[in-house]
């Protein structure tokens, strides 16, 4: 095994963009830098950002691009390819975040230079990058190239991994099961009185708080969740002492606000918009919800678990791997509203359930998903021949 001293992170978008992939790339880069690894991030240069910047020991190099999206992506792919060749002596391994066009540049450069190349796949089953690539000619050509060049593809959840492994069409791909990491030192549980104070700081009472954090897009099924929430309130003899808070932005935001108003849920459901600092919300929450129809491995879910928050999630993607039903959380069929409502009723009827599950969720986060453990394993992968 070789000792890796320098890693090149390649990502089409990076901090200050704050999507799940961008956040994971930043946290992982900082963790590696903390181990003495020289980390350079190669990314696009959006308007107003410097061409080069040091972010806590992580050197970010931004390549200028221009034009419509297709031109922008093609330019970044070509510039990345030439940069990787011209600076091949400055890194030992390349880690690509998402299998989009920059991954082709990295795999091609790695093929020519002999550098270790890893590509992290994103998305849950059905919206994963392999499925999306199969839908276009360029995507199919990319997969054929991956089969020939054989980069290591990091798969973040068992559902996608098992599907790829069991499908003859993808047998030539080199797959490795891996996972995201979470900073369990930063994301920590609060004591009971501290949780009450955290709720008050957000302008909330001490009702049980169900929290969603993420992009407000159709596959998250938040509209359907809100409708189930409304049914639960109508069916109850007395209004449940529970609040639902959505943190995030996206194409469904306006529709969700209309649904809240139409269902007369203003007293129990609120949309907080996008927030850069999510820690206060996790520390106030009792139950983290993730009702997606398809999901990779949610960073927000892992952060909530590290904060000792129970999980209520659809039985898909990374939630199936991370959550032990009845122990650290509850899982439900995303298309079965009755099953979802039963899970909600159990939590509302017994608030101690979330406390017990939250303790186990924290234990899982520390033992399996801590950034320290993930970084250890990743450094070993980088160093493999």
- Do the domain assignments include residue 256? yes
Residue 172 has pLDDT above 90, yes or no: no
- Do the domain assignments include residue 293? yes
- Residues 17 and 138 occupy one common structural domain: yes
- Residues 122 and 23 occupy one common structural domain: yes
- Residues 199 and 339 occupy one common structural domain: yes
- Do the domain assignments include residue 161? yes
Could you tell me if 215 and 222 are in contact, meaning their C-beta atoms sit under 8 angstroms apart? Answer: no
Q: What total number of domains does the chain contain?
A: 2
Could you tell me if 365 and 192 are in contact, meaning their C-beta atoms sit under 8 angstroms apart? Answer: no
> pLDDT tens, 90-109?
999 999 998 889 999 999 99
Residue 275 has pLDDT above 90, yes or no: yes
- Residues 375 and 331 occupy one common structural domain: no
Work out the average pLDDT over 369-381.
96
Residue 233 has pLDDT above 80, yes or no: yes
Residue 111 has pLDDT above 80, yes or no: yes
- Residues 329 and 348 occupy one common structural domain: yes
Boundaries of domain holding 207: 192-368
- Do the domain assignments include residue 34? yes
Residue 385 has pLDDT above 80, yes or no: no
Which of the four pLDDT bands, split at 50, 70 and 90, describes residue 2? confident
- Residues 124 and 58 occupy one common structural domain: yes
- Residues 235 and 115 occupy one common structural domain: no
Q: Which residues of 336-366 are buried (b: 16+ CB within 10 A; e: fewer)?
A: ebebbbebbeebbeeeebbeebbebbbebbb
Long-range contacts: 43-48, Cβ < 8 Å, 24+? Answer: 43/10, 43/11, 43/12, 43/13, 43/14, 44/12, 44/13, 44/14, 44/72, 44/76, 46/17
Name the residue among 57, 80, 60, 56 with its Cα closest to residue 17: 60
- Residues 376 and 342 occupy one common structural domain: no
Residue 269 has pLDDT above 90, yes or no: yes
- Residues 150 and 212 occupy one common structural domain: no
Q: Two tokens at 337?
A: 């509203």
- Residues 171 and 296 occupy one common structural domain: no
- Residues 309 and 379 occupy one common structural domain: no
- Do the domain assignments include residue 164? yes
CATH of the domain at 327: 3.40.50.2000
DSSP readout, 13-61? Answer: S-TT--SHHHHHHHHHHHHHHHTT-EEEEEEE--TTS-SEEEETTEEEE
- Do the domain assignments include residue 1? no
- Do the domain assignments include residue 321? yes
- Residues 364 and 374 occupy one common structural domain: no
- Do the domain assignments include residue 71? yes
């Amino acid at each position: 095994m070789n000792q890796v001293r320098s890693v090149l992170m390649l990502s089409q978008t990076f901090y200050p963009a704050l999507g799940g992939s961008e956040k994971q790339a930043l946290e992982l880069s900082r963790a590696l830098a903390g181990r003495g690894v020289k980390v350079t991030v190669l990314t696009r240069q959006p308007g107003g950002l410097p061409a080069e910047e040091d972010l806590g020991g992580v050197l970010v190099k931004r390549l200028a691009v221009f034009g419509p999206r297709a031109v922008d992506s093609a330019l970044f792919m070509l510039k990345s390819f030439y940069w990787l060749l011209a600076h091949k002596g400055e890194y030992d391994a390349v880690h690509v975040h998402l299998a989009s066009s920059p991954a082709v540049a990295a795999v091609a450069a790695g093929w020519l230079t002999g550098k270790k190349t890893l590509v992290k796949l994103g998305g849950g089953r059905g919206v994963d990058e392999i499925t999306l690539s199969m839908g276009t000619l360029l995507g199919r050509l990319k997969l054929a190239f991956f089969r020939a060049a054989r980069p290591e593809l990091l798969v973040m959840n068992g559902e996608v991994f098992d599907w790829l492994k069991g499908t003859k069409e993808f047998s030539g791909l080199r797959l490795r099961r891996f996972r995201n990491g979470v900073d369990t030192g930063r994301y920590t549980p609060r004591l009971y009185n501290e949780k009450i104070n955290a709720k008050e700081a957000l302008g909330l009472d001490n009702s049980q708080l169900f929290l969603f954090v993420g992009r407000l897009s159709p596959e998250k099924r938040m509209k359907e969740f809100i409708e189930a929430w409304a049914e639960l309130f109508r069916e109850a003899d007395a209004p449940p002492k529970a609040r639902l808070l959505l943190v995030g932005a996206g194409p469904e935001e306006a529709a969700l606000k209309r649904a809240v108003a139409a269902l007369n849920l203003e007293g129990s459901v609120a949309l907080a918009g996008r927030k850069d600092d999510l820690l206060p919300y996790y520390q106030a929450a009792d139950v983290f919800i993730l009702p997606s129809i398809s999901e990779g491995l949610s960073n927000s879910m892992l952060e909530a678990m590290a904060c000792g928050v129970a999980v209520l999630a659809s039985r898909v993607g990374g939630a199936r791997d991370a959550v032990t039903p009845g122990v650290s959380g509850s899982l439900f069929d995303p298309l079965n509203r009755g099953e979802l409502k039963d899970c909600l009723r159990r939590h509302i009827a017994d608030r101690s359930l979330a406390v017990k599950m939250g303790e186990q969720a924290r234990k899982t986060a520390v033992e399996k998903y801590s950034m320290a453990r993930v970084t250890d394993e990743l450094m070993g992968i980088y160093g493999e021949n």
